[in-house]
Structure 1
Amino acid sequence: MSSSATLSSIEICAGAGGLALGLESAGFSPAALVEVDDKALATLFANRPEWNLVEEDLNAFDPDHHPESYDVDLLSAGTPRVKSMATINRKDDHPERKLVKAALYLVGAVRPRAVLLENVPGLVSKDDFSEVRTEIEEELNHLGFRLFKNVLNAKDFGVPQNRSHGFFVALQEPYAQSFTWPSPSAETPTYVGDVLYPSMASRGWPHAQEWAQEARIVAPTLVGGSDKRGGPDLGPERAKAIWERIGINGGTLADEPPGPQDGWALGSDRKDLPALTVAQTALLQGFPPSWQIAGRKTRGYRQVGQAVPPPLAAAVGRQIAAALKARAADSPQPWPAG
């Protein structure tokens, strides 16, 4: 356990920083963040230049070359989305599973007191993911951790989006004795219109207030993070239909919010409706307005679509921090030999 009040962490596959930002608010200070994408690294540097960024592929990352990685309180990872067994024979599926293996290897090398792995909800509970899930469980148990699994929805933690994430949390004894999952917020759900109204009104759009009233909904999941996918949009047709019902063109992204000359009417053709900007989608993901996303629309939105909503990450991070601090006076159990 760190001697100071701040807990230490290392994060791999850091992306645009959603997980790291949430963990920061929960009391974790990253000793290093590992990422290979240049635009994601530019995003991290623009917002937290003091963070130690390591530009390296996870498969090649050697903690011996980064001694600050050792003896941290937490290793966190939001590895690329693992696909189900139904698509395991697809050639492009193998890198995602290899990154999960690399993350597990790094747990054994770094020896943190706690581990946080985030991925698709199905990895936690669906049969199609049982092979990878079993590998995660067996390896973490072998390394001396007690494992906790859960699926949490970001809308239950102040994010205006219906978005589920699968989490594996593992802690060494005796810290595991004090861990519990965060409870959903008892407050009224956060709505799209409330979050985006200041941005929609920022350029003098005369319909901002009317639109915000219509947009008192929780958004569908923002989809668009795949590296194999085409240009940016707000997801499949069913999601675009929801956006269209509140007067948003979900088939594209805009360069700026609507202005004084832009019209708006429910029932208009999709192409005649205003579209959201990358910055606005980041707001829907729970990033603060000050968080800058580097890159043009496609690569910027890809970072947003792949991110863990910071408020959700913060909720899980606070529970991990509480468990670590509750047992701060106890020494961790020795690691298994070999």
Structure 2
Amino acid sequence: MPATGPSPDTAAEGAKSPDDAESPVINTQIPFIPHDSDDDNDSALGDDSSIASSSASLTDSIFEYRALHGRTYQVSKSTEYWGPNDEAQNEGLDLAHALVTMLMGDRLFAAPLAARAPTNPSWVPPNCTFYLDDAQLDWTFDPASFDFVHIRALYGSINDWPRLYAQAHDALMPGGWIENFELTILLRSDAPHVRDDPQHIFKRWADVFCEAGDRLDRTLRIGNNYTMHRLLHEAGFEDVTQKYYQVPVGGWSSDPVYKKIGIYNLAFMEQSLEGFALFLLREIMKWTYERVQVFLMEMRAEIRNTKIRPYYLMTNAYARKPE
């Protein structure tokens, strides 16, 4: 059965450790049938390499970047955003989008959206306008102007999640839906020597990243402990559902779909780990560049280790504004 989350009263954010008090009901389990060899020689990323071009409405401030060790990061009025915005990171995000879409059964969202009119047109003009803005500032959209607000991967970049959800609530039409898809920072393994070792790289990685997020006052734990479920309920939403998904790292699953997801996920992490680490560990935690690189080497070695079958949890929450 899908995990819909506990009552808001029991879904406290609370704990400081990235996995304290978190024992979520998992919506998916990764199929795995042991074989004689645990080697993973599957490195194909598939044929989904084309990227559609889009028009965008931009302000000059969008192009104000800062450089750290050869990577570029966004400058914003209100946000110390921890992920790069350069081409290397964009390639990783393309992989992440592909694996999330596969995880969702080739869908872009899970919310049960209904048509707002009796009939829908059979043809829609291929025009889409993007507005880049800072979601932490006052929203400039008219009240009740959207059917659907979709949020993905803002963990570590929002310092007031209740306000974000409240502004989304105001911007939605009655009966409209919000959906928020977030990653959890802790990598996991069911191998006892990994699961039970408090000093394993997976746990040390999660601990230091969560501490850096705390120092920025931008939590990386938004996907933990059914926090999204609670905050959406407190913002006035109804029919709140939160689900957790296991996401493999590497092609170790015996299921062909999960195997492909894992291959994409490993490629995404290989592409993205350094960009994620440089800002938080160098600028916030004040680590040396050399220490960051050693940490990254240790992490890469473990995510490539198919014998421990690494994975992490993604969480998706959606809710409806009352009619």
TM-score, shorter chain, exceeding 0.5: no
- The answer to which structure has the higher helix fraction is 1
Larger relative contact order (CA 8 Å, sep ≥ 6)? 2
TM-score scaled by structure 2?
0.29
